[in-house]
């Protein structure tokens, strides 16, 4: 209830005030209020309408590149039409409140950057960094078309300028390794921070879900912002049940 949330907010604010190094660890829920769909929310999540195995695996891209490329182009253009919300803005402002801040996101959107967080670590890649599926060289982002690609439309991927291989989205699919440097720096930050603020993630996808767990094991206080219960609940010193765009700004006042 409201009184409980007030108390939790003041506990969380106190933890942040005395922290030297804060890690913010975000998932799809922080972008939900901007209008970007999450993955696992029961009614609105992408995986309730689309089959993950046929869209977000290397096998899916090999079997039907046009379907997979078209789906990611549809999502990229959706992200380009929305704006960061007060949650992303509060995360960016947090750098003026704590001596050291590290932002680690599982999100493939660019809303943290557009809110003013300069170098968030993207554990699952980005919708804005396509690369060649054959030789891995970065490929140019296709021009945004005036006509939005319709949901479910097939779009043949561009061809690599160097080897003519198909260009793929620069995201991390199921069964793929996370970018090594991103994972390393996330592990380093999580094991040396005093507070980890986990926001809008179900905590179900590994190895990313190890990051808040590692912080807790290393002695950091974990603060969680999420309207739903998650497997991270027992780990959290403070649980803030509610939407990120409301609760994150309230933490800074």
Whether 112 contacts 92, CB under 8 Å = yes
Residue of 86, 88, 112, 124 marked active site: 124
Count CB atoms within 10 A of the CB of residue 15: 20
Structure tokens at 77: 């253009």
Q: Which is nearer to Zn ion, 132 or 209 (CB)?
A: 132
Which residue of the chain is nearest ligand BJW when measured via CB?
Answer: 29
Q: Running DSSP on this structure, what letter comes out for residue 112?
A: H
Q: Would you say 135 is a known binding-site residue?
A: yes
DSSP 29-60: HHHHTTT---SS-TTT-HHHHS-GGGTSSHHH
Q: Which is nearer to ligand BJW, 146 or 168 (CB)?
A: 168
Residue 135 binds which of Zn ion, ligand BJW, none (CB < 5-8 A, kind-dependent): Zn ion
Q: Would you say 136 is a known binding-site residue?
A: no
CA dist 6 to 14, 52, 153, 158, 242, Å? 12, 38, 46, 51, 12
Closest-CA residue to 62 (of 146, 165, 153)? 165
Q: Which is nearer to ligand BJW, 102 or 224 (CB)?
A: 224
Q: Would you say 239 is a known binding-site residue?
A: no
Count CB atoms within 10 A of the CB of residue 16: 19
Residue 198 binds which of Zn ion, ligand BJW, none (CB < 5-8 A, kind-dependent): none
Q: Is 124 annotated in the active site?
A: yes
Whether 98 contacts 16, CB under 8 Å = yes
Q: Would you say 172 is a known binding-site residue?
A: no
Residues in the site for ligand BJW, rule: CB under 6 A? 27-29, 32-33, 38-41, 45, 56, 106, 108, 124, 171-172, 174-177, 200-202, 204-206, 225-228, 230, 243-244
Shortest CB 126 distance to Zn ion, Å: 18
Pairing of β 238-240 and β 221-225: parallel
Shortest CB 20 distance to ligand BJW, Å: 26
For tokens 């046929």, the residue is 54
By CB under 5 A, the residues from 99 to 158 that bind Zn ion are 132, 134-135
Report d(CA 52, CA 54) in Å as an integer. Answer: 6
Annotated binding residues? 72, 75, 106-109, 132, 135, 160, 163, 200-202, 226-228, 244
Annotated binding residues for Zn(2+)? 132, 135, 160, 163
User: Any idea which residues carry the catalytic annotation?
Assistant: 124
Write out the residues near Zn ion by the rule CB under 5 A: 132, 134-135, 160, 162-163, 165
């Amino acid at each position: 209830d409201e009184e409980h949330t007030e108390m939790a907010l003041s506990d969380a604010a106190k933890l942040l005030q005395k922290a030297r190094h804060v890690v913010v660890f975000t998932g799809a829920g922080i972008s939900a209020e901007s209008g970007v769909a999450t993955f696992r929310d029961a009614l609105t999540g992408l995986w309730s309408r689309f089959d993950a195995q046929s869209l977000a695996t290397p096998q899916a891209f090999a079997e039907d590149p046009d379907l997979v490329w078209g789906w990611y182009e549809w999502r990229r253009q959706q992200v380009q039409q929305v704006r960061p919300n007060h949650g992303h803005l509060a995360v960016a402002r947090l750098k003026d409140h704590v001596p050291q801040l590290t932002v680690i996101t599982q999100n493939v959107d660019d809303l943290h950057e557009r809110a003013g967080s300069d170098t968030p670590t993207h554990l699952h890649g980005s919708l804005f960094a396509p690369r060649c599926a054959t030789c891995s060289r970065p490929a140019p982002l296709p021009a945004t078309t005036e006509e939005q690609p319709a949901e479910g439309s097939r779009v043949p991927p561009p061809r690599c300028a160097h080897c003519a291989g198909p260009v793929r989205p620069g995201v991390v699919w199921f069964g793929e390794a996370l970018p090594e440097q991103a994972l390393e720096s996330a592990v380093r930050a999580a094991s040396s921070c005093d507070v980890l603020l986990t926001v809008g993630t179900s905590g179900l996808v590994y190895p990313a879900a190890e990051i808040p767990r590692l912080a807790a094991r290393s002695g950091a206080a974990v603060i969680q912002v999420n309207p739903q219960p998650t497997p991270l609940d027992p780990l959290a010193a403070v649980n803030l049940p509610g939407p990120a765009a409301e609760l994150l700004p309230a933490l800074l006042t």
